[in-house]
Amino acid sequence: VSAPVIAIHAGAGAVGGTATREEARSRAALLEALGAGRAALESGEDAVAAVAAAVEVMEDFELFNAGRGAVLCADGTVELSAAVMRSGDRAAGAVASVQRARHPVRAAEAVMHSPQVLMVGPAADRAADLAGLEVVTPEYFITDHQRRRLAAPVTGAEHATVGAVCRDAEGLLAAATSTGGIRAQPPGRVGDCPLIGAGTWADDRVAVSCTGDGEAFIRSGVARYIAALVEAGVGLGQACERALGLVEAAGGEGGLIAVGADGQRAMPFISEVMPRGVWRAGGEAEVWVR
Ligand code: ASP
């Protein structure tokens, strides 16, 4: 048993993207998310509760691409996805293309507590409602900022998907990721984030949350690949680098955060920036917007 650690990201992106233009607000949101994860851990809750709490804060922050303020599909609608997974029993839950669950990460957590792993569309929203979670109208998620961005010519990749990984005091590992996908995606398109083993993974060796060009991450099986490399004895940092090498070879860019069973963490990215942060018990929270 050693010190709990939680790391978060707010998406791989480019210099000049929303996070770097709104640096102070983004930094404050990252600190608040880490604070929520920390509070969960300090009150004795487990790694799953900590990653869900951190992601929930980032879903509420309208400048990140998750929950309210997420990017819009080509037709101006919003489709949200999220996943949660933990070590031990490798329980996992995910939702894709939801439009009503206010916190998609909580909907994913509810699925984790059901016999299913992945639920999609209106049925996933209904399940969230039945589980007693807060539901809203789809308009709740749509901000003027994203309406303007959809209308503007598409410039450089900017993802701003959010995620968290944690190792708690008992050694439980957990990962969570939440996203609105990629701006102007066709309705029905699903990226890597809600796909267990692609954008999100946790087992007894490592917890991983990814962000970037979803198709390249899916085709590279990134999160599970990192776990397999670590299982084979490759160091965490090198395992992450090799996985991102596959993404690059597939023509994609992005980044990820990972925490190992020993509490070691890695936060590599091959995009220009990846807002991120980490808190380890006994220390101060650290965040970076670039
Ligand atoms: N990976 C996400 C997707 O493809 C996008 C992102 O990371 O922002 O849906």
Q: CA triplet 94, 95, 99: central angle to 5 degrees? A: 155
pLDDT range class, residue 20, cuts 50, 70, 90 = confident
pLDDT range class, residue 16, cuts 50, 70, 90 = confident
pLDDT of residue 157: 61
Q: What percent of the chain has pLDDT over 90?
A: 91
pLDDT of residue 244: 98
> Is the pLDDT reported for residue 242 higher than 70?
yes
- For 110-143, how does the pLDDT look when each residue is reduced to its tens digit (9 = 90+)? 999 999 999 999 999 999 999 999 999 999 999 9
- For 82-97, how does the pLDDT look when each residue is reduced to its tens digit (9 = 90+)? 999 999 999 999 999 9
The residue among 270, 222, 224 whose CA lies nearest residue 243 is 222
Q: What does DSSP say about strands 276-280 and 5-9: parallel, antiparallel, or unpaired?
A: antiparallel
pLDDT mean over 170-191: 97
The Cβ-side half-sphere exposure at 163, using a 13 Å CA radius, reads 38
pLDDT range class, residue 158, cuts 50, 70, 90 = low
pLDDT of residue 115: 97
Q: For residue 194, how far is its CA from the centre of ligand 1 (angstroms)? A: 10
Q: For residue 161, how far is its CA from the centre of ligand 1 (angstroms)? A: 6
Q: Are 79 and 98 in contact (CB under 8 A)?
A: yes
Question: 163 in ligand 1 pocket by Cβ < 6 Å?
Answer: no
Residue identifier of the C-alpha nearest atom 7 of ligand 1: 211
The residue among 170, 187, 162 whose CA lies nearest residue 82 is 162
Distance CA(6)–CA(76), nearest Å, equals 34
CB atoms within 10 A of CB 171: 16
Which member of 18, 137, 161, 179 is catalytic?
A: 161
Q: For residue 248, how far is its CA from the centre of ligand 1 (angstroms)? A: 15
pLDDT mean over 155-168: 85
Q: In ligand 1, which atom is closest to the CA atom of 254?
A: 7
Question: 17 in ligand 1 pocket by Cβ < 6 Å?
Answer: no
pLDDT of residue 17: 80
pLDDT of residue 19: 80
- For 35-69, how does the pLDDT look when each residue is reduced to its tens digit (9 = 90+)? 999 999 999 999 999 999 999 999 999 999 999 99
Question: 179 in ligand 1 pocket by Cβ < 6 Å?
Answer: yes
Is 177 part of the annotated catalytic residue set? no
Q: CA triplet 179, 180, 186: central angle to 5 degrees? A: 135
> Is the pLDDT reported for residue 248 higher than 90?
yes
> Is the pLDDT reported for residue 153 higher than 80?
no
pLDDT range class, residue 160, cuts 50, 70, 90 = confident
Report the phi/psi class of residue 263: left, alpha or beta, with left for phi > 0 and alpha for psi in -120 to 50.
left
pLDDT of residue 154: 65
Pair of tokens at residue 168: 């708690």
pLDDT mean over 238-267: 98
pLDDT mean over 184-201: 97
